[in-house]
Amino acid sequence: MSAMLDRLQQEKIVAIFRGIEDQYADQAAEALLSGGITLMEITMNTAGAAGMINRWRDKYGSQAGIGAGTVLDLEMAKEAVAAGAQFLISPNLDESVVDYALKNNVSVWPGVMTPTEIVRAWKAGAEAVKVFPMATLGWKYLAEIRAPLDRIPMMATGGVDLDNIADYFKAGACAVGMGSKLVNLDWVRGGRFDLLTERARQFADAVKAL
């Protein structure tokens, strides 16, 4: 097991930064760190994503695990790894991305939905998978596919909130990916970083209580 997968399973939450403006990014990252969330994914469809990943590795590398999300293809994977991403997450399974990450000692957690895709990702060398879109599929779907595929660590992304986070872990998720519920861009743009810290703390406490 890689150190990053170990960390994912210990900390259980990945904060997803999608579409955040560069001018707010550092304060938002610091707000989450203050609340106890330390695994952060910047999606590659965010303007200036590679620059932010690179800067965060410098600024927060001792405290945080910084990765790239929405890594759709090999070209994006190369850009993310060059920027210093410690893990790659995608909504889809592209074996060339998995292969590239493995060759560069970067953790890779591709997006999958069906049992066939989950096993394909595992056979391609992914050490964990992201089951997506969980908001539509729901935690009961996760519980069903975990029964025969219990050896494969699964991160659930989409639809996670304070009132159901425990259900996702009961269903067998090893971690959850959280976007707007955690990184609320209205709060960010309004300068309410205190609210971000408070929300991060609530979720960090919720997974500690599991």
Which residue out of 11, 21, 78, 130 is catalytically annotated?
130
CA–CA dist 147, 9 (Å, integer): 19
Cβ neighbors of 8 (< 8 A, separation 6 or more) are 14, 39, 87, 107, 109, 128, 153, 155, 174, 175
Domain-embedded: residue 194: yes
pLDDT exceeds cutoff 80 at 1: no
User: For this structure, is 41 an active site residue?
Assistant: yes
Q: In CATH, what number is assigned to the domain containing residue 92? A: 3.20.20.70
Name the pLDDT band for 64 (thresholds 50, 70, 90): very high
How much is the pLDDT for 158? 95
Domain-embedded: residue 138: no
Per the structure, the complete domain to which residue 29 belongs is given by 3-114+175-203
How much is the pLDDT for 127? 96
Cis amide prior to 133 (ω within 30 degrees):
yes
Q: How far is CA 201 from CA 4, 20, 66, 72, 81, in A?
A: 22, 20, 19, 31, 29
- The total number of structural domains in the chain stands at 1
Largest Cα–Cα distance of the chain, in whole Å?
A: 46
Segment holding 194, helix H or strand E: helix 193-208
Which residue out of 12, 41, 59, 79 is catalytically annotated?
41
CA–CA dist 205, 131 (Å, integer): 23
Domain-embedded: residue 65: yes
Q: Are strands 39-43 and 65-69 parallel, antiparallel or unpaired?
A: parallel
CA–CA dist 108, 76 (Å, integer): 13
Domain-embedded: residue 106: yes
- Per-residue pLDDT tens digits for 111-145: 999 999 999 999 999 999 999 999 999 999 999 99
Domain-embedded: residue 139: no
User: For this structure, is 144 an active site residue?
Assistant: no
